[in-house]
Amino acid sequence: MSYIDNIKEKARSNRKKIVLPETTDKRTLIAASNIVKEGIADIIMIGNSEKILDGATWLEIDLDEVTIVNPHTTELLDEYVTLLYETRKDKGMTVEMAREILVNDELTFGVVMVKAGHADGMVAGACHATADTLRPALQILKTAPNTKLVSGFFVMCCPNSPYGEDGTFIFADCGLNQDPTPEELAAIAETSARSFRSLVGAKPIIAMLSHSTKGSAKHPLVDKMVEATRIAKELYPHLAIDGELQSDAAIVPIVSKTKSPGSEVGGKANVLIFPNLDCGNISYKLVQRLGNVEAYGPMLQGIAKPVNDLSRGCSWQDIVGVVALTAVQAQLH
């Protein structure tokens, strides 16, 4: 059984309610139909039911088991207006503004639904930029307790790969923090380790990546990863973490023997922490496209309740996978 099939099985064991707000996107409609058919989660869609069901008819899919909530007509609107106002009034929100936002912005409506406890998580981003998905989540749900930083990661599933945990990795941060400081990189490493343990079920082995291995190059970017490793080891001594490591030294045992002999991480890493967003985002897309690898995310870690992003280049199958992962995150919450 593949990694994502295992995740789907976990999701089925305790079905959660997941919001899919992007109901004008055909990939979302197809994904929703398949999710309920497979019993992965209960799906809530936001929008005009007539338009959504017309789209389903055109696509020849079944959405009969999907719950559709229209912000303009739902009896929940007044409750959500009050909740949004109370959450954001210190930032200048008024009741009138809250109502206007909720009837016109499906993403914010979905996040408020999660905040109210009427849904367990939300997945969006197929036709919105990451910032549009993240902004209401951070403003309304806020960060989880004992979390220093919200960050984004991808679960990368490499078929028939001898590396990682049976070919499964977490790449971080690939979707949110543009140029994290050493302290932030250490925090990303720790939350990524927790995500790996909860979603993969194995021991996280963390490599702080660089273009240098153990001093083979001198540069401020190298210094940043060296310092991030030092901080992470000091703050989280229970973690298996090492750096700075080049990517081949991190995951290939024979290369590690030459470049990083004696490293507890070298050649065995399954959690890869990138120096900045450029490195992480470029790397995951290249690995996904050139290696025929399944990439699920960007998943978000550190938010009080599960809200996850999608790449705008995603397929409907990707949406199904991220919903399954979101459901498992919701089980843990």
Could you give the percent of the chain with pLDDT greater than 70? 100
Q: What pTM value is reported for the model?
A: 0.85
How sure is the predictor about 265, in pLDDT bands with cuts at 50, 70 and 90? very high
Q: How far is CA 310 from CA 10, 25, 151, 181, 300, in A?
A: 21, 13, 14, 25, 10
Contacts with 208 (C-beta within 8 Å, 6 or more apart), sequence order: 185, 189, 225, 228, 229, 232, 241, 242, 243, 244, 245, 273
> Would you place residue 268 in the very low, low, confident or very high pLDDT band (cuts 50, 70, 90)?
very high
Give the mean model confidence (pLDDT) for residues 172-181. Answer: 91
Q: Residue 245: beta bridge partners? A: 209
Mean pLDDT of all residues in 55-79: 93
Within 13 Å and on the Cβ side, how many CA atoms surround 249? Answer: 23
Give the distance from CA 44 to its chain's centroid: 19
| 11-32 residue pLDDT tens | 999 999 999 999 889 999 999 9
pLDDT digits (tens, 9 = 90+) for 110-149: 999 999 999 999 999 888 888 888 889 989 998 877 788 8
Mean pLDDT of the 266-276 span: 96
pLDDT at 314 over 90: no
